Structure 1
């Protein structure tokens, strides 16, 4: 088993060099869940790659997902027998919107069943891919703690978060206090 504490799960098109996930991947204990095709995602492939990465990392891993990666993780959770410590679910998009990207339609509808692990949904009041209310619905349905960052856009590279220390604190909370959330 690898010594990975945190797996990152980027969304559609992956996370570029200025994205907080990519920056975190330069830290010890962080590793990206790679996907076969970031630009033409297929849900079944993404679920398989999450399964493989978690199997390799072991049950003490936390997943830090962004955008479509959140939906992939929620779908994965409905199919897996593997355990994880928890997940940070940042800016999950609304898969039921009419303007949801056609290339990602296999991810709709979004699962609304409770997740079998501790989780935190992080949202923004001005995310162009999901309303604050939709993201609150995800948090309630998934049994997640809800964190509102205020006006932070899609909480991606354009949000200029850099290393996003507050996000790292939330991940540390999941890594250290997974039994007490």
Structure 2
């Protein structure tokens, strides 16, 4: 069965939430059918609270959805997928961090991540089409680690080159490939 409905694009930001010059924010402004999971007022580091916020926003959407997650937003998405049954047309999972390795200074430690429910990282096949986009020089994850996550999730793996963590701090605002990958996922048909 082919769906002809244009999906809603739901942006799932990482721990820094909405950054004005981030590619996700710019993409949301550019696409007429896009919206974001709103920032949390409290429990910002709590994985379960973030998953609940994603689920609540999905409950407000009728019709097909394409998720666009970045960084910890990817982890929110994969944690959500373990326990929720809502049909998702596809997901773009950009530069997921490797929570199994120590993060750079200024990021949560493995103990803090574990305490707030981020660990262990789910490694089961996702119940929807997905594309994992990874950087060759991401300070939050080695590309080999991300490739293993993509394989475990059943995702198509895309090496996007040396783009750092694909955020304004690494010199990236606009990311034109995101729109192409979202369009590809929007056309995916589920039988």
- Verify same fold: TM over 0.5: yes
**Which segment drifts farther, 70-79 or 157-166?**
157-166
Contact 1:59 1:82 in 2 (8 A): no
What RMSD, in angstroms, separates the aligned Cα atoms of the two structures? 2.0
Q: Which has the larger radius of gyration?
A: 2
Contact 1:14 1:38 in 2 (8 A): no
Distance in 1, Cα, partners of 2:180 & 2:42: 27
Structure 1 segments unaligned to the other structure (5+ residues): none
Task: Indicate whether 1:136 and 2:112 are aligned.
Answer: no
Deviations 1:54-95 (A, max 9, x none): 121135110100000000100000010211111000010111
Number of matched pairs = 178
Task: Indicate whether 1:9 and 2:20 are aligned.
Answer: no
Contact 1:47 1:75 in 2 (8 A): yes
Structure 2 segments unaligned to the other structure (5+ residues): 1-5
Residue aligned with 2:48, SS: helix
1:145 alignment counterpart = 156
TM-score by length of 2: 0.86
Contact 2:130 2:155 in 1 (8 A): yes
For residue 159 of structure 1, report the CA deviation from its aligned partner.
3.5
Distance in 2, Cα, partners of 1:37 & 1:13: 12
Contact 1:118 1:178 in 2 (8 A): no
Residues 34-49 of structure 1: pairs in structure 2 closer than 5 A: 34-37=38-41, 40-49=44-53
Counterpart of 1:101 (choices 65, 88, 108) is 108
**Which segment drifts farther, 75-84 or 104-113?**
104-113
Contact 2:18 2:39 in 1 (8 A): no
Moved over 4 A (4+): none
2:77 alignment counterpart = 73
Distance in 2, Cα, partners of 1:80 & 1:31: 20
Task: Indicate whether 1:19 and 2:26 are aligned.
Answer: no
Instruction: Give the 3 Å change call, closer, same or farther, for CA 59–94 of structure 1 in structure 2.
Output: farther
Distance in 1, Cα, partners of 2:131 & 2:190: 14
